[in-house]
């Protein structure tokens, strides 16, 4: 059982609800990346509800763990999970991609719970390394989690970043 905005639920039920909300959001918006979003649901649910230090009541808490969704086109999955976790009302999900909405096609810092604005593929791991290094320098115990898309693994920048993380012995990045 995991805590959600509507009480304790089994994680499997949360996954199912998130998938339904992704379909509702994309259908209402008339556009969006269902496949990319669906491919991240289980890992995002496990991170947000079982692993990461987060506080929906204080989304800018300085010791929160950070999530870098490098494949920003999977934003509907992240939005559905943030809503389920209590960062904003579920009704907001149906405003995906509307002008002025906090839920744009790619993650936006105006959205409570978003730590990184992504769009251009291949940059997420490098940014995560910057966050991880800064956390180490600040003496913070926060962890940095990164979700990459399969196509990003063809980018040289990703492999340079992976080598850099190893060289710097960054053990606070996953």
Does a structural domain hold residue 174? no
- C-alpha 2/C-alpha 88 separation (Å) is 18
Does a structural domain hold residue 173? no
Does a structural domain hold residue 172? no
DSSP secondary structure string for all residues of 119-134? -STT-HHHHHHHHHHH
Q: Which residue carries 């966050």 as its tokens?
A: 131
Instruction: Return all residues near 80 (Cβ < 8 A) that are at least 6 apart.
Output: 17, 18, 21, 22, 25, 37, 93
What local confidence, expressed as pLDDT, does residue 122 receive?
A: 84
Q: Residue 97: which domain range?
A: 2-167
Does a structural domain hold residue 14? yes
- C-alpha 157/C-alpha 74 separation (Å) is 20
Distances (CA, A) of 24 to 20, 33, 80, 86, 148: 6, 12, 10, 18, 24
Does a structural domain hold residue 20? yes
Strands 2-4, 7-9: pairing is antiparallel
Number of domains in the chain: 1
What local confidence, expressed as pLDDT, does residue 26 receive?
A: 98
- C-alpha 22/C-alpha 39 separation (Å) is 12
User: What is the pLDDT tens value at each position of the chain, 174 positions in all?
Assistant: 777 777 788 999 999 999 999 999 999 999 999 999 999 999 999 999 999 999 999 999 999 999 999 999 999 999 999 999 999 999 999 999 999 999 999 999 999 999 999 878 889 999 999 999 999 999 999 999 999 999 999 989 999 999 999 999 999 999
Does a structural domain hold residue 37? yes
Quick one: DSSP state of residue 173? B
CATH number, domain at 57? 3.40.50.970
């Amino acid at each position: 059982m995991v805590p959600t905005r509507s009480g304790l639920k089994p994680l499997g039920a949360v996954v199912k609800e998130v998938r339904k909300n992704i379909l509702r959001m994309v259908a209402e918006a008339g556009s969006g990346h269902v496949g990319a979003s669906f491919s991240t649901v289980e890992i995002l649910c496990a991170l947000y509800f079982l692993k990461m230090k987060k506080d929906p009541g204080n989304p800018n808490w300085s010791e929160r763990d950070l999530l870098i969704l490098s494949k920003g086109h999977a934003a509907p999955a992240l939005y559905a999970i943030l809503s389920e976790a209590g960062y904003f009302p579920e009704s907001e999900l149906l405003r995906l991609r509307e002008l002025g909405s906090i839920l744009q096609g790619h993650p936006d810092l105006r959205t409570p719970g978003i730590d990184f604005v992504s769009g251009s593929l291949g940059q997420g791991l490098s940014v995560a390394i910057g966050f991880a290094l800064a956390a180490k320098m600040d003496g913070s115990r926060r962890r940095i989690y990164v979700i990459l898309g399969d196509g990003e693994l063809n980018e040289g920048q990703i492999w340079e970043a992976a080598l850099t993380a190893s060289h710097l012995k960054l053990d606070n990045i996953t």
